[in-house]
Amino acid sequence: MTALLFLATALLWGGGALATALQAGSVPATVSVGYRMALAGLVMLAIGAATGTRLRLARADLPWVLLQGVLFFGLAFIAFYSATRLIPSGLAALVLSLSAVFAGLLGRLFLGTALTPRLLAGLGCGVLGVAIVFGGDLRAVAADGRTLAGLAWAAVSALATAGGTILGARNQRRGVPIPAVMGWGALTGAAAAFAWSAAAGADFAIDPSPRYLGSLAYLAIAASCVTFLMYFDLVRRIGPARTAYTLALVPVVALALSAGFEGLALGPGLLLGAAIILAGNMLVLRG
């Protein structure tokens, strides 16, 4: 059962990158994020209420949960959605996987945690891997504004995810229940996404196509609620350190799906760079 949970978590999260790319179309990225997070937040609060979980937040925890919502469930997803509209979803997921390294750096900056040799080696692997993936044709990448913008959005997503992870660690230490963090955090992320959309004058009309609605349901339910519940069940079963290895498998799944459905060419440079990035992630996660 544990092995099945481990594999299912990696597969569902890895499939989320391709499902995010399927959201591209007439609905702006910020609006799609708002719909996804609103649905996910309501479902998580319903699950919490059905299981008798404490959903009311203490006054001391409220601002931190809301800030985590803005970063982790709002900005990180807006940036990732924007990235997948400019570069293949597998490449965006590969850059996003560097959030584990960024979380270590932010932990040093804001929490005073040590910059261990393992973390520095992971950072070096991340930089080297990205350079190999995109440096083989650096001139073409630099001349392609879409690719540069896609990489920038993916990097923003990784940084926001790292910041949300640091805040999540704080909320977990305080004992805030997971359904409460996810429910209120996702609704806060939805509010931030809708506010961004309104400020940009975006159209809030939803795409009624099966492709859009199906990917929205997958992202909100399977890749958000179900996956997080399975992830934390794994934490209970095998501990957080071993469970974190699912995060290293996610970009592998995303790259494979991107190659199969988006035509991403898995050349030697991409495979070598991806392997180095994933090795860096493994170093950090082991720490």
Q: What is the mean pLDDT of the chain?
A: 85
Element (H, E) at 204: none
The C-alpha atoms of residue 120 and residue 110 are separated, in whole angstroms, by 17
Q: What digits encode the pLDDT tens for the residues 45-80?
A: 999 999 999 999 999 999 999 999 999 999 999 999
- Helices 210-217 and 29-50: angle between axes, nearest 10 degrees: 40
Q: What digits encode the pLDDT tens for the residues 174-206?
A: 889 989 999 999 999 999 999 999 999 999 989
Task: Please say if the pLDDT value at position 33 is more than 90.
Answer: yes
Task: Please say if the pLDDT value at position 31 is more than 90.
Answer: yes
Contact 167, 64 (CB under 8 A): yes
Top pLDDT among 4 and 218 is at 218
Top pLDDT among 159 and 98 is at 159
What pTM was estimated for this model as a whole?
0.85
Task: Please say if the pLDDT value at position 142 is more than 60.
Answer: no
For 88, list phi and psi in degrees, rounded to 5. -55, 145
Contact 23, 219 (CB under 8 A): yes
Count of structural domains within the chain: 1
pLDDT of residue 216: 94
pLDDT band at residue 41 under the 50/70/90 scheme:
very high
Name the percent of the chain lying above pLDDT 70: 90
pLDDT band at residue 239 under the 50/70/90 scheme:
low
pLDDT of residue 136: 58
Top pLDDT among 36 and 6 is at 36
Q: What is the DSSP string of 19-50?
A: HHHHT-SSS-HHHHHHHHHHHHHHHHHHHHHH
Structure tokens at 286: 């082991």
Name the percent of the chain lying above pLDDT 90: 37
For 72, 176, 183, 220, 272, the CA distances from 190, given in Å and listed in that order, are 11, 20, 11, 12, 37
**Cα first-last separation, the chain:** 26
Mean pLDDT on 113-123: 77
- Which residue range(s) make up the domain with 205? 2-286
Instruction: Give the DSSP letter of residue 203.
Output: -
Instruction: Give the DSSP letter of residue 201.
Output: T
Task: Please say if the pLDDT value at position 284 is more than 80.
Answer: no
Element (H, E) at 212: helix 210-217
Task: Please say if the pLDDT value at position 243 is more than 70.
Answer: no
pLDDT of residue 147: 82
pLDDT of residue 208: 93
pLDDT of residue 242: 64
